[in-house]
């Protein structure tokens, strides 16, 4: 199950906080999947990564970010998906805009959507695609920054960023976490 975090409604659709849902839209477009409303409170659709390949359940919670756990937990129960088979795609302030990181478990880093999911699932041990949105400029509060649209320069690069994050999701579904990390994490600079 691949869950893209965000907030509902057109006011939030193109904000940094909704980058997880943008990745789900990219995956749905890539695989020709139509997302439809599910009683768990999310838009869902299924796709195969390749003929005979792993089946992905793509999900966009219809709830606000801070209560993402309710629909994620309901979908996991409905489809009998164990936390280890859940990939959550979300915005990450501590990663530059043009980068992403993959991990399983660990701290939620102050991300209320992840905290909600961890609480409902009863574990932090689910996969995460942390899509970099960068830090706010100056003294701008982080909450204001993530609820604003991307800058003009970022919007030019956003399709490539979303495409790369979608590729990382597919790699997590078809290979090991370690293999995907080697492919998508930036090489250390010297």
What are 149's two structure tokens? 């649209």
90 as an active site residue: the answer is no
Distance CA 79, CA 81 (A): 6
Would residue 95 be called left, alpha or beta, if left means φ above 0 and alpha means ψ between -120 and 50 degrees? beta
* Nearest alpha-carbon partner for 106 in 124, 118, 84: 124
Catalytic residue of the set 17, 38, 111, 161: 17
- Residues marked active site are found at 17
């Amino acid at each position: 199950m691949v869950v893209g975090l965000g907030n509902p409604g057109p006011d939030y659709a193109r904000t940094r906080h909704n980058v997880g849902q943008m990745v789900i839209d990219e995956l749905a477009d890539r695989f020709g999947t139509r997302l439809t409303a599910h009683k768990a409170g999310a838009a869902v659709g299924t796709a195969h990564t390749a003929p005979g390949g792993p089946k992905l359940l793509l999900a966009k919670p219809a709830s606000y970010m801070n209560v993402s756990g309710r629909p994620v937990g309901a979908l996991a129960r409905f489809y009998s998906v164990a936390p280890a088979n859940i990939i959550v795609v979300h915005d990450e302030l501590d990663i530059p805009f043009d980068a992403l990181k993959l991990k399983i478990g660990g701290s939620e880093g102050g991300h209320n959507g992840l905290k909600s999911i961890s609480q409902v699932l009863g574990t932090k041990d689910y996969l995460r695609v942390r899509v970099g949105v960068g830090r706010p400029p100056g003294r701008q509060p982080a909450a204001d920054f993530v609820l604003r649209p991307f800058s003009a320069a970022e919007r030019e690069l956003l399709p490539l960023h979303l495409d790369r994050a979608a590729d990382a999701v597919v790699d997590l579904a078809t290979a090991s976490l370690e293999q995907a990390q080697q492919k998508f994490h930036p090489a250390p600079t010297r």
